[in-house]
Amino acid sequence: MAKHNQQNIIGYIGTYTKGNSEGIYRFTLDTAEGKLSTPVLAAELTDPTYVAISQDKKNLYAILKEAGSGGVSAYSINEDSGELTFLGKQLTPNGSSCHISVDSKKQVLVTSSYGEGVIESYPLHDDATPLPVSSTVQHEGHGPNEERQEKAHTHFAGFTPDERFIAVVD
């Protein structure tokens, strides 16, 4: 969520776009009234299933799927309206990811791919746009349930509090 003012908080929803959804939606929470506004389309994008907002609340990063590839997309956030402005994207052949995290200094994004069991890192340019993948780690192994745990399925990749390491949930 990105703060708008003391009474209104702007939030964003990532979605699957297989049905009526068209991408990332924006809403406002009126904390005094305890009401949510009707979500409006903030960015048209295929399957932005997870979004992350930078610590300074100036940028939003989203998972994306495009032409059989997966990747990341970057936006600037208008601090008054919450509107998103597209900054750039990067695609990778490793399939669609399910989670994205950004470090506090906006130097790197990390993603995890459930289907592929892959963790990828994307350096960020000074203008907050993602650069091509700089490292890929393939998880190995399987779980005790052979029907759905036949291989690694990474669900989460995020930074430890000191940001020296990336913690991964498989």
Spans of all domains in the chain: 45-169
Number of other residues whose CB lies within 10 A of the CB of residue 73: 27
Q: What's at 150, amino acid-wise?
A: E
CB 33 within 8 A of CB 105: no
Through-space distance between the first and last CA atoms of the chain, rounded to whole angstroms: 26
Burial class (CB in 10 A: 0-12, 13-18, 19+), 40: exposed
Alpha-carbon gap, residue 68 to 32, rounded angstroms: 44
**Closest among 58, 57, 54, 65 to 15, alpha carbons compared:** 65
Amino acid identity at 49: T
What string of pLDDT tens digits covers the 170 residues of the chain? 555 557 899 999 999 998 899 999 999 999 999 999 999 999 999 999 999 999 999 999 999 998 888 899 999 999 989 999 999 999 998 777 899 999 999 999 999 988 788 999 999 999 999 999 999 988 787 777 777 777 778 889 999 999 999 999 98
Q: What is the rounded CA–CA span in Å between residue 126 and residue 7?
A: 32
C-beta atoms surrounding 24 within 10 Å: 24
**Can you tell me the distance from the alpha carbon of 98 to that of 82, in angstroms, rounded to the nearest whole number?**
24
Contact 51, 24 (CB under 8 A): yes
Whether the predicted model's global pTM rises above the 0.85 cut: yes
At 131 the pLDDT is 97
Residue 94 confidence (pLDDT): 73
Fold classification of 45-169 is Methylamine Dehydrogenase; Chain H (2.130.10)
